[in-house]
Structure 1
Amino acid sequence: MIELHDVELLDDGRRLTDRPVTLQVRPGRFTAIVGSADVAKTELLRVIAGERRPDAGSVAGAPAGGEAVWIPQGNHLSLALTALENVAVPLIAAGIEGPTAAAHAQEVLEAVGLGESQGHLVEELSGGQQQRVAIARGLAHLSAYLFADEPTTALDAGNRRKMLHLLAERAAHGVAVVVTTNDPDSLAGVADDVLTLD
């Protein structure tokens, strides 16, 4: 479990959140951090993930290397690879054999609705499809923590809900899932815990 107690984030002495943040990120829970584009959702997520120290307050239990998967804002895909390769190559780099990695990559691409597009190069995919490949890449890794920074921004309403439900399934299997979003309406019936920043 990751625990934040009275965490504050500052930028040139200006507080980035409306109040100190106290939060528990627990296994098997889907935690959503909600707020408009100008609040420090990403910076708070980086604190939770152990990538940034808070300017005040404390963090306990930040994940060690290999315990967490990060789905970054923007897709960060390799344009030289196909959708399948973008999902499979990180698995191979993590020590999974090629055929097993490819089979698992195919499975998660089908789950995000891209089974028929797995052989397409990234540049041949729409922005929404690319984002779903990035989500599939994150879902392919089995880890204790999954952090997703605005993962559904480029998606239509139907795909947004579908992707959030796939992330919630990871939580249902014991993963601690933390997602930032500026779309609180899509979280109805999905998130277990919601932190709203102003």
Structure 2
Amino acid sequence: MRDNTIDDYPSLLLAQESQDKNIEPLELGQRIKDLRLKLGLTLEEASQKTGLARSTLSKIENEQISPTFQAMQKLAHGLDVDMPQLFEPPKKIRATGRRDVTRSGQGKPHPTSTYEHELLATQLSSKKMMPFKTRVRARDFNDFSDWVRHDGEEFLLTLEGEVMLYTEFYEPILLKAGDSVYYDANMGHMLVSVSEEDAQILWVTAK
């Protein structure tokens, strides 16, 4: 029995594609100003709603002073937001327009001794999920040297045949064509075909 490597499991390649993203520090004054402007309030109007002096609001927005907890409560009440929202920067929703079409049978082949993978959407880098079709060659639990486990979550849909899904904390489950399962990929798991012909499945791994 050989040792399995990362190349045996395309789902693990997702972690290799991930890139560290810098986290910008929160500028509380700017956040409060953005909330005020979103409501269409002048400093004077915000002062009346929050009960804070106009000069105090101006200094807070310009990062000249740090608001006290009591002032934060007044800001949250006056700007009609929950306290945590004062510390949460607005989410930027931006359509990137990314698209990658994979025609039938034109995925990137990635065969191993236990699986015959066809990687999909291979032209996109830094994906948040990795889809691939797999013909399951493994026929026995002992074809694997150890549990497969990795970061993220995984969705599996049986396309053809039948498979037995083994997971670390649950009893083995039979999945027939059309059956699907969603599971935590940190939990040990492995898959074998139990139908006469090798089963084919769709796997989608997400970080």
TM-score tier by shorter-chain length is under 0.3
Q: Which one has a bigger Cα radius of gyration? A: 2
Could you tell me the TM-score, scaled by structure 1's length? 0.23
Could you tell me the TM-score, scaled by structure 2's length? 0.22
Could you say which structure has the higher helix fraction?
A: 1
Query: Bigger relative contact order, structure 1 or 2, given CA contacts below 8 A and separation 6+?
Result: 1
